[in-house]
């Protein structure tokens, strides 16, 4: 049973999937106009852990995350640099993926982009206009009418008066109500624009998530996530658009999960305050898994303060778990190779220390899962990893001291302990970038064979330019080709 805090009800609720054994998730993605900062990374790492947990306990997970690739900020950046909006968006989408790879964030099932979802967005706006939830202005702008929607404000629990008091509302006399927001913006010179029933233009921000979730997850899906800063107005507007277009107040996301803010040295992160850290900046100093560990060590709803001291602490903690992980790997390797069978006598084994260890591991795994089942409490779950690490290290030290050998029944138990530790680590998403997997090296071998064959083919045809380019480019990548009697071999320099 999974319980979690639903922002809509402001209480913990038991998760009841729409479809048994499946979970569908929509998380608002980035606007690719600059490099993601540490605060941007938090929702994606949070959801990555939640997804991993659901998958581990047997759910089929579908996860959709968008790119807002048509946006004022992108257009402004493109104009500053004198390049196209799509060049800016492509550049920062690439950067997003690089950073998320370093943080071990598994890819979404779909990454819809605004520029590729225009027909669906237009169709939804048309429905809203037809149903009188939206209106067109003379210039071709289309606005959502908050007053037409009686349940507007239910997520943020704001009344119209509070909204106006709290939000910086642009005075726009053309709007029926100051809180009305743009669904479609009429084209301005030099901006990307698409044909629509209201003339050339582009979508407003909020409508994309309503159209995309409908397209890729259907009228109802389980979870909607994002940073708490998106609750109002973005998520409020998404709910309004989707439920009014679909004519069903139970449609759209069934549950709302929001992660807390990240501060820097207890102040708000901002470029002007000079405390703006991109994930890339941090990755230059700390390994991706350490940064990830730093993020998930704190429960996702709690505020998280980033500072040099705390990330160094996270690095030390991560290192402690890593030692236990390495010790287990070594024990497993010994068991698999069973070196002890060769001409060595068993020392006196008076008790079975692995018996206690495996019992403890099973208990800690169920405690770990209980923590995850209680609002995805990674902070508590990780504390059980430390407990297991301590027991593993004690066993390992006895093994190093020659007091015990992981053989017979103990061998099986150690293998199980290793499985438990790996299950925990893979839920948290650490110890994966430790070394390349067997599948990776097999793929590299296959690719290298193709490259070497192409070079041989070029040489046979006296195409020295191609043959030399392949050799030089490989050399630049740190790979050296050697002619041997068995043919061309390659090695890393
Ligand atoms: Zn969104």
- Condensed to tens digits (0 to 9), the pLDDT of residues 164-177 reads 655 555 667 889 99
SS3 41: helix
- d(CA 382, CA 379) in angstroms, rounded, equals 5
Angle (deg, nearest 10), helices 85-102 and 38-56: 60
Residue 349 confidence (pLDDT): 45
Which class is 3-259 in CATH?
alpha beta
Cβ within 8 Å of residue 82, ≥6 positions away = none
Kindly give the distance from the C-alpha atom of residue 234 to the centroid of ligand 1, in angstroms, as a whole number. 6
Contact call for residues 73 and 118 (beta carbons, < 8 A): no
Q: In the structure encoding, which two tokens stand for residue 264, read together? A: 């820097």
Strand, coil or helix: what is 31? coil
pLDDT tens for each residue of 107-145: 999 999 999 999 999 999 999 999 999 999 999 999 999
The rounded distance, in Å, linking the Cα atoms of 303 and 379 is 13
Q: Classify residue 177 by burial, with Cβ atoms within 10 Å: 0-12, 13-18, 19+.
A: middle
Å from CA of 443 to ligand 1 middle: 37
Report the separation in Å between the CA atom of 230 and the middle of ligand 1, taken as the mean of its atom positions: 8
Distance 235 CA to ligand 1 centre (A): 6
The string over 323-357, giving b where at least 16 C-beta atoms fall within 10 Å of a residue's C-beta and e elsewhere, is ebbebbbebbebbeeeebeeeeeeeeeeeebbeeb
pLDDT score recorded for residue 401 = 86
446 or 209: which leads in pLDDT: 209
pLDDT, mean of residues 92-112: 97
**Mean of pLDDT over the chain:** 91
Q: What is the pLDDT of residues 232-290, one digit of tens each?
A: 999 999 999 999 999 999 999 999 999 999 998 888 877 677 777 899 999 999 999 99
Centre of ligand 1 from the C-alpha of residue 223, in Å: 12
Q: What residues does 221 pair with on adjacent strands? A: 253
The CA-CA-CA angle for residues 93, 295, 323, to 5°, reads 115
pTM: 0.85
What are the residue boundaries of the structural domains of the chain, listed by start?
3-259, 308-428, 439-492
What lies within 8 Å, CB to CB, of 425 at 6+ separation is 321, 325, 385, 431, 432
């Amino acid at each position: 049973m999974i319980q979690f805090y639903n922002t809509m009800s402001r209480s913990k609720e038991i998760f009841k999937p729409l479809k048994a054994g499946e979970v569908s998730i929509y998380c608002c993605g980035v606007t690719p106009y600059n490099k993601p900062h540490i605060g941007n990374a938090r929702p994606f790492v949070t959801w990555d852990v939640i997804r991993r947990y659901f998958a581990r306990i047997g759910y089929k997970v579908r996860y959709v995350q968008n790119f807002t690739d048509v946006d004022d900020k992108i257009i402004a950046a493109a104009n500053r640099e004198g390049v196209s909006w799509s060049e800016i968006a492509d550049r920062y989408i690439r950067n997003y993926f690089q950073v998320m790879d370093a943080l071990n964030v598994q890819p979404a099932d779909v990454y819809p982009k605004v520029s590729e979802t225009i027909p669906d967005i237009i169709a939804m706006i048309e429905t809203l206009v037809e149903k009188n939830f939206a209106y067109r202005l003379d210039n071709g702008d289309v606005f959502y009418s908050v007053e037409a929607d009686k349940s507007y404000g239910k997520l943020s629990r704001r009344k119209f008066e509070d909204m106006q008091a709290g939000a910086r509302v642009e005075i726009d006399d053309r709007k029926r109500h100051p809180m009305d927001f743009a669904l479609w913006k009429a084209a301005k010179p030099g901006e990307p624009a698409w044909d629509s029933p209201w003339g050339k233009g582009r979508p407003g921000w909020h409508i994309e998530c309503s159209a995309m979730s409908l397209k890729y997850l259907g009228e109802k899906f389980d979870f909607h996530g994002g940073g708490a800063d998106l609750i109002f107005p973005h998520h409020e507007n998404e709910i309004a658009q989707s439920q009014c277009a679909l004519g069903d107040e139970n449609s759209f996301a069934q549950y709302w999960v929001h992660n807390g803010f990240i501060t820097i040295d207890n102040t708000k992160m901002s470029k002007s305050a000079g405390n703006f850290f991109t994930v890339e900046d941090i990755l230059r100093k700390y390994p991706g898994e350490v940064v990830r560990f730093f993020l998930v060590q704190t429960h996702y709803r709690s505020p998280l303060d980033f500072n040099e001291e705390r990330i160094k602490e996270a690095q030390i903690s991560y290192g402690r778990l890593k030692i236990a992980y390495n010790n287990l790997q070594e024990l497993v390797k010994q068991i698999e190779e069973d070196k002890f069978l060769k001409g060595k006598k068993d020392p006196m084994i008076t008790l079975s220390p692995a018996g206690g260890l495996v019992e403890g591991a099973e208990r800690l795994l169920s405690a770990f899962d209980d923590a995850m089942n209680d609002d995805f409490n990674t902070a508590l779950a990780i504390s059980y990893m430390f407990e297991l690490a301590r027991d593993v290290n004690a066993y390992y030290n006895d093994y190093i001291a020659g007091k015990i050998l992981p053989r017979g029944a103990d061998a099986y138990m150690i293998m199980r302990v290793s499985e438990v530790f790996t299950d925990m680590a893979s839920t948290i998403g650490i110890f994966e970038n430790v070394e390349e997997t067997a599948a990776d090296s097999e793929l590299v071998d296959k690719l290298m064979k193709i490259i070497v064959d192409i070079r041989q083919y070029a040489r046979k045809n006296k195409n020295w330019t191609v043959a030399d380019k392949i050799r030089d480019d490989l050399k630049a990548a740190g790979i050296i080709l050697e002619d041997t009697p068995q043919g061309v071999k390659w090695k890393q320099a």
